Amino acid sequence: METRTEISSLGEFGLIKRINEGIKISLPDTIRGIGDDAAVIDTGEEYGLLTSDMLLEGVHFDLAFFPLKHLGYKAIAINVSDIAAMNGTPRQVTVNLALSNRFSVEAIDELYDGMKAACKDFNVDLVGGDTSSSRSGLLISVSVFGKVNKEKVTYRNTAKPNDLICVTGDLGGAYLGLQLLEREKQVFLVNPEMQPELDGKDYVVQRQLRPEARMDVVYELAEAGVVPTAMIDVSDGLASDLMHICAQSGVGAVIFEERLPIDEQTYLAASELNIGPVTAAMNGGEDYELLFTVSQASYELIKNNPKISFIGYTTANKEEIVLHTKGDSRVPITAQGWS
């Protein structure tokens, strides 16, 4: 009798690992396959970068509170973020859509208005894709092709012990924005007359609905003459994504709680929802900030950049990935990201 293994027993990363183990790369121009933010392809003078992401209604977004224009923008931005995480520049995107008949032509116009705004912001061309009917709501799949100088490509597996750990922007906002939107949806379902209570919460809501890819920091690092030693974008949560860098680079890490960049609105939303702001910052996900390591020599070149926080350092002990708390204790970091 054939055995049946539930996918849930592997989890997302276990499934990816299993798929990857069965795939062999044979072409000389395939430089890097599964396991990083984007695949790396030798195109001659430069490396080409290729990444792909799917957004499914009911899994990744809820149209009860997600404007289609923002959804279109987010679909492009989160893919461009993967190119940013390779220290590259996005160039072209393709978009695949599966639609049910409850969507009007005007609704699709709205979705594409958001995509066009993102393409303009990130200076990419939308060059094609595919459309299909769907029996289960909206599905958006985006692929982005980018480029990177061969000397400047940045992987997840190249951090060294005693590197500095940096993160752009601030953390935890997107997760708390989602919790607020979910809460207001439940209130609305009970009483459709109720007005949503989102005054003063625009920042965290925007972090969820319309995230930005941090191409600005990629350009600023290049201007400063800094190539990160390793990099990833924060999609699953700081803890989870840090553990990817540590596991693939064979290093440990110490993160300082007091150095975690958390916005004031994130603190207020966390307090209202009774969620620890540090928990949101470490495990929330969907911030799409860049988490990267740099050599200590690079510190002087970027220490005054207000968009970058230095939150810790890597160590040679790969068993030790810890949060140094404000109370001066060290707590093991565990990945509670998305699976």
pLDDT tens for residues 170-184? 999 999 999 999 998
Per-residue model confidence as pLDDT tens digits over 176-229: 999 999 998 988 888 777 666 677 789 999 999 999 999 999 999 999 999 999
Q: Which residue has the higher pLDDT, 88 or 191?
A: 88
Q: Which of 189, 180, 181, 142 is nearest to 62 (CA)?
A: 181
SS3 content of the chain, % helix, strand, coil (to 5): 35, 25, 40
Mean pLDDT for the stretch of residues 236-244 = 95
Q: Is the pLDDT of residue 14 over 90?
A: no
Q: Which residue has the higher pLDDT, 8 or 122?
A: 122
Position 102 scores a pLDDT of 92
> Longest C-alpha distance within the chain, in Å?
64
Q: Is the pLDDT of residue 312 over 90?
A: yes
Binned at pLDDT 50, 70 and 90, residue 288 comes out as very high
Q: Tell me the CA distances in angstroms from 133 to 39, 101, 141, 251, one per residue in order.
A: 29, 8, 14, 46
Position 197 scores a pLDDT of 67
State percent of the chain over pLDDT 70: 98
Mean pLDDT for the stretch of residues 99-103 = 93
